Amino acid sequence: MAAKPQRNTVTTQIPEQPPTLPTSSTSAAPSAEGSSLSLDTRLCQSVKSVIPKKRQEALKWYGWGYNDAQFYEQNRTICFKGDKYPLGGCQLPSFTKWVQQKFDVSLDGDKSYPQMPQTFPQPNLNAEFLSELRENTKVENSLEGVDRLVRCHGQTLSDIYNLWYNKFQRIPDLVVWPSCHDEVVQLVQLANKHNVMLLPFGGGTSVSGSMTCPQQEQRMICVVDTSQMNRLLWLNRENLTVCFESGVVGQDLERVLREHGLTVGHEPDSYEFSTLGGWVATRASGMKKNVYGNIEDLVVRVRMVTANGTLERDCSAPRVSCGPDFNHIILGSEGTLGIITEVVLKVRPLPAVQRYGSLVFPDFEQGVLFMREVARRRCQPASVRLMDNEQFIFGQSLKPEKSWLASCLDVIKQRYVTSWKGIDLAHICAATLLFEGEEQEVARQQALINEIAARYKGFPAGGQNGERGYVFTFVIAYIRDFALYQGIVAESFETSVPWDRCSLLCRCVKQRVVTECQRHHITHFTISCRVTQTYDAGACIYFYFGFRSLDMSNAVHVFEAIEHCARDEILACGGSLSHHHGVGKIRSHWYRNAVTETGANLYAAAKQHLDPRNIFAAGNLLPPPQEQQQQQLESQTKAKSKL
């Protein structure tokens, strides 16, 4: 009988020196992951990340993205700077006009962005834990206030507002940077021994409140930054699988794989800054999921260190029938059960052709019918996203200033659409497309998509518009901070919904937001939506909402109240609690109802077994007991009021 294969030791050990790649792959040591001819552990390499260990050196401490990229006002015109984006160095007069008309604001370029605080909350230290950590492990750590502050939050509107106005009363007490799985094991054992709370931290891009430091936690809080765990551990070319440590950033992961002619193909909007571990912890979805799948489709195996041991599946077979799949205990756990350390993923050869496209439809309803038919026939391109009229106009406003000739051509195109095609600009909507594959396959798919679009009065609008719409996804995230700077609060929220309720949900949610704005005497606002991912049975819908807040003292609170009502409407219309952002803290209010009392108790039982001392007390999914009691009391009060 064959001996049980040993786990690949490279996944827990740090090489003393960077590995030298031999010319022949036949000398690679055999392991449980594949034969010596296909598994190349000598490719194990540290990845030089775009994000340094001191995050604030490259990324804004007070908002989204790179330090050198932002929207700003110059000579009463909104501009954008940032060499990493196509919009960098552009003036945006159309966007300026849109902002002024929509929100009735006068742009103020004299305002200054917040300055880094000079003092920080004193750390609440567990002396025994800290002493043992420093004496018995090699885990790097820091008590510096700046290191602690930049890791106390995610990217919710509330997070950023609290940063700007220095309202965080509780920030992590210690930052640690483990460098491998074994160091995480040591760290978790020490934290469990000394009852220290651990808060896993990847890219810090969460918009669900999952990364927000629990303000009521009395124990020492240790934030576990996984950025130094970003190695490629092995690559199996025969099986097309790869193992990375969980702290690797999305764009770093793809850059390394492209050097080998491969791709994972997972591109969430946060792809530049979010990490592999974060994708798994939130059950993330990417813009190209139609070809490559969501993160749960890409994960083969995952390791998570819990207070009760390491949880992982024993083999990397493509599918197993072996009871409940524990990968799915880890997927979506949002840092509440343990720390994800390593992930085995599927990879694909880089596509030979990548081609953009766009379509125009007379109204949103026709566009939704088109999306439904494409999904029904399972002929989706890598990405197909439909935006409503409000978002279409917003997107068009982001085009840079054009030459006289280009402006004339735009007038001609507009006349073609309105006069010859008979489309009302007050209802027009558009879809952006991305095709990937072999040349013949892409051409065939593009022709089929255009044919289906024609049935719903749609027609092609060019590849340039499609590429602009796809790439601008990464720029739009910077608008939120500029808006806050100008007295406008804005944020997005998402859901998934069956096809037969898709258009209804969009209408009802937008109308609910309008009603709530009126109730709060808000007259200048925007609410728009887009369909971003399609499935056999339904779709993902993104909403973008913002309003002028210059005269409000509690703008963030009002925004959250209106979003809360919008979420109630989403659920009433048959939508989900979240498609890919996760539950976090801001949606934990609805989690118990979403999964039923039995489901919530099942999760709580798993939590109790894996984390009996609740050292992973992020407060995500199920809120703290006192909040749960308050929610149950509110539910009982509402039930009685209906009698």
534 labeled binding residue: no
Instruction: Find, among 231, 234, 246, the residue nearest to 184 by Cα.
Output: 246
CB atoms within 10 A of CB 638: 9
603 labeled binding residue: no
275 labeled binding residue: yes
The vertex-214 CA angle with 282 and 123, nearest 5°, equals 125
273 labeled binding residue: yes
Reading phi first (left if > 0) and then psi (alpha if -120 to 50, else beta), residue 294 is in beta
Residue in this structure with the two tokens 């993330």, named with its chain if needed: 284
329: enclosing H helix or E strand: helix 327-330
Note the residue count of the chain: 643
Q: What is the DSSP letter of 64?
A: S
**Cα–Cα distances in angstroms (integers) from residue 274 to residues 203, 252, 268, 287, 383, in the given order:** 4, 10, 8, 14, 20
User: Do 526 and 548 form a contact (C-beta atoms < 8 A)?
Assistant: no
**Cα–Cα distances in angstroms (integers) from residue 136 to residues 139, 190, 292, 561, in the given order:** 9, 10, 43, 48
Give all strands (DSSP E) within 462-591, no chain letters.
488-498, 525-534, 538-548
340 labeled binding residue: yes
Structure tokens at 480: 């939120």
The dihedrals phi and psi of 488, each to the nearest 5 degrees, come to: -130, 125
202 labeled binding residue: yes
User: Buried b vs exposed e over 595-606: b needs ≥16 C-beta within 10 Å?
Assistant: beeeebeebeeb
Instruction: Find, among 264, 250, 267, 257, the residue nearest to 471 by Cα.
Output: 267
Q: Are strands 174-177 and 221-225 parallel, antiparallel or unpaired?
A: parallel
Structure tokens at 247: 């702290």
356 labeled binding residue: no
36 labeled binding residue: no
Concerning whether 165 is annotated as a catalytic residue, the answer is no
User: Do 527 and 611 form a contact (C-beta atoms < 8 A)?
Assistant: no
Catalytic residue among 456, 485, 542, 603: 542
User: Do 566 and 572 form a contact (C-beta atoms < 8 A)?
Assistant: no
Q: Which residue intervals of 416-519 are DSSP H helices?
A: 439-455, 463-471, 473-476, 479-485, 502-519
Q: How far apart, in Å, do the first and last CA atoms of the chain sit?
A: 69
| Percent helix, percent strand, percent coil in the chain, to nearest 5 | 35, 20, 45
212 labeled binding residue: no
Spatial separation of the C-alpha atoms in residues 188 and 176, rounded to whole Å: 12
339 labeled binding residue: yes
Task: Give 451: exposed, middle or buried? Use CB within 10 Å, 0-12, 13-18, 19+.
Answer: exposed
271 labeled binding residue: yes
269 labeled binding residue: yes
Q: Helix 555-572 and helix 157-164: axis angle, to 10°?
A: 170
173 labeled binding residue: no
208 labeled binding residue: no
200 labeled binding residue: yes
551 labeled binding residue: no
338 labeled binding residue: yes
Per the DSSP assignment, residues forming a β-bridge with 433 are: 357, 384
247 labeled binding residue: no
78 labeled binding residue: no
297 labeled binding residue: no
Spatial separation of the C-alpha atoms in residues 75 and 92, rounded to whole Å: 11
Spatial separation of the C-alpha atoms in residues 272 and 50, rounded to whole Å: 9
- Positions at the binding site: 200-206, 269-275, 282-285, 334-340, 480
- Positions at the binding site for substrate: 480
- Positions at the binding site for FAD: 200-206, 269-275, 282-285, 334-340
Residues annotated catalytic, as ranges: 542
